[in-house]
Structures are given as C-alpha cells and as structure tokens.
C-alpha cells in the first residue's frame, strides 16, 4: 500500500491482498486486510520460525509474542510426507522440527489454537495434541493391516489413577494425572513421530483402542479436530 510499487488507490480498495509494510533496522511491520488475517497470521508466524526471528501479533487481545528458543537450535530441515494442522489455521505440509516445536508454543487454552494434529500422509498415522501453556495431553495412533491402535501418552512414575481435565480452547480433554505433559515432553514425542522413530519409551502408553470402532479408518470427510475421541 506504500512505496514505489504501491497500488493505485482505486486498485487498493478492491484488492484484499494489499499489504502495508514498514521496514526498519531490526523490525519489519506488516498490516493486512481483516479478510486475510488468519492466512497472514499463520504464514508470517511460520516464516518467523523459519528465519529465527521474533513474532509479535499486534492485533492479538493478549499481545502474543513468540521468540526463537535460546536453549537449543531446532532443526529447520523440511520433513516430507508430513502435514501439520492447528485449530483454525492453515495446514503446513513438509514441516520442520522447528515449526512443529513452534506450533506447540502456539497452542493456548484460551483464544486458541487449542489443538494440533501431525499426520503421516502415507500411513495415516497421527499424533494429536490438545491444551497449551505447559499443560498438554497427547494421543498417538498407528495403522497396520486395516486396523489401528491408539494410545494416550503419560509420564512414568506419576499418578495413573486420578482423572484430570486439560483445558483447551473453549473445551477440555480428559486424561489421567500422569498424562498432563509439559512443552518439552510434547516436543520429544512429536519429534519422534516426525522422524519416523518408535514411540519414546521414557513415557508410558495407555492403550485406549477399545474405545474406538477397531478395524475402520476415521471418516476423512470430518474436520480434523474430530479425530479427537
């Protein structure tokens, strides 16, 4: 909307893709039309992860700010055959470990997104995460011979009997006390799934396959968050 290549005012009024930019020594500010807000938000946040720069969602009611981790350098190599989807956001194909870890940071129980789904496109296996703010629940599904098994992930050496609720975005998820996971726990689990390795054995795996109609794949016409039991 400004600069040498800016649209003419008449064109700008009819073009929802028109974007304003201000570029400084250590900041790029961009403003988008409200009709493009969700797509722009997801794209810009993913680009911030890719290029290891901070992200400030100025229009967020909670003033959302994200910074790259200073504790370790996440792998930015794209992983083919995976799709990462967050509640209310676009799907990301071939995500990197860095983007997956940033997506976990993205989750929040109030205001959302409150779920994420990481799928193996070839096998239909998936891991789903609900919650946010250092309180998450994770489920892992594997298919084999037109059948599947489904687990809830928990921490070993903790209370496996007491029922708890993990807050989501306008909802909650039921689990056991030991199944309340931290950000670091979730990153370990998603990293194993993304790299195609087996389920990490430092966790305990509660098999809940019997709660499902075993032998039938989920209805792929359903919205992705309905994969959650």
- The answer on 125 and 174 residing in a single domain is yes
Do residues 12 and 96 share a domain?
no
Condensed to tens digits (0 to 9), the pLDDT of residues 68-81 reads 877 777 788 999 99
pLDDT of residue 41: 86
User: Of 37, 181, 168, nearest to 108 (Cα)?
Assistant: 168
- Domain of 111 in residue numbering reads as 74-227
Distance, in Å, from the CA atom of 116 to the CA atom of 124, rounded to the nearest integer, reads 15
Residues, the chain, total? 229
Is residue 9 helix, strand or coil? helix
What is the structure's pLDDT at 17? 84
- Do 187 and 207 lie in one domain? The reply is yes
Judgement on whether residues 186 and 84 belong to the same structural domain of the protein? yes
Q: What is the mean pLDDT of residues 125-138?
A: 94
CA 213, 217, 219: angle at the middle one, nearest 5? 100
Whether the per-residue pLDDT at 222 is higher than 60: the answer is: no
Candidates 196, 197, 204, 150; CA nearest to 177 is: 204
Rg (CA), the chain: 20
Residues 6 or more apart whose Cβ sits within 8 Å of residue 159: 176, 177, 178
**CA–CA gap between residue 227 and residue 115 (Å, rounded):** 11
Per-residue pLDDT, averaged over 201-221, amounts to 74
Instruction: Please tell me whether residues 7 and 93 are part of one structural domain.
Output: no
Task: Among 10, 40, 68, identify where a domain stops.
Answer: 68
Pick the last residue of a domain from 47, 68, 89: 68
Say if CB 229 and CB 211 are below 8 A apart.
yes
Is residue 183 within 8 Å of residue 134, measured between CB atoms? yes
Which among 9, 44, 68 is the end of a domain?
68
Same domain, 93 and 192: yes
């Amino acid at each position: 909307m400004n600069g040498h290549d800016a649209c003419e005012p008449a064109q700008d009024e009819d073009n929802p893709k028109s974007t304003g930019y201000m570029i400084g020594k250590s900041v790029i500010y961009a403003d988008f039309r409200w009709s493009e807000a969700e797509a722009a938000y997801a794209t810009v946040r993913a680009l911030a992860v890719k290029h290891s720069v901070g992200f400030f969602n100025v229009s967020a009611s909670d003033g959302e700010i994200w910074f790259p981790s200073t504790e370790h350098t996440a792998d930015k190599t794209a992983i083919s055959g995976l799709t990462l989807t967050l509640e209310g956001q676009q799907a990301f194909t071939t995500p990197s470990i860095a983007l997956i870890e940033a997506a976990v940071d993205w989750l929040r129980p109030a205001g959302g997104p409150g779920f994420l789904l990481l799928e193996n496109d070839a096998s239909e296996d998936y891991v789903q995460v609900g919650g946010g703010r250092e309180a998450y629940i994770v489920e892992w599904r594997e298919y084999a011979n037109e059948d599947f098994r489904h687990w809830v992930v928990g921490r070993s050496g903790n209370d496996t009997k007491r029922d708890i609720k993990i807050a989501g975005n306008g909802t909650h998820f039921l689990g056991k006390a030991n199944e309340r996971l931290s950000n670091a726990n979730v990153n370990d689990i998603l990293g194993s799934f993304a790299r195609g390795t087996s389920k990490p054995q430092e966790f305990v795996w509660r098999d809940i396959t019997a709660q499902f109609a075993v032998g039938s794949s989920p209805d792929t016409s359903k919205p992705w968050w309905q994969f959650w039991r």
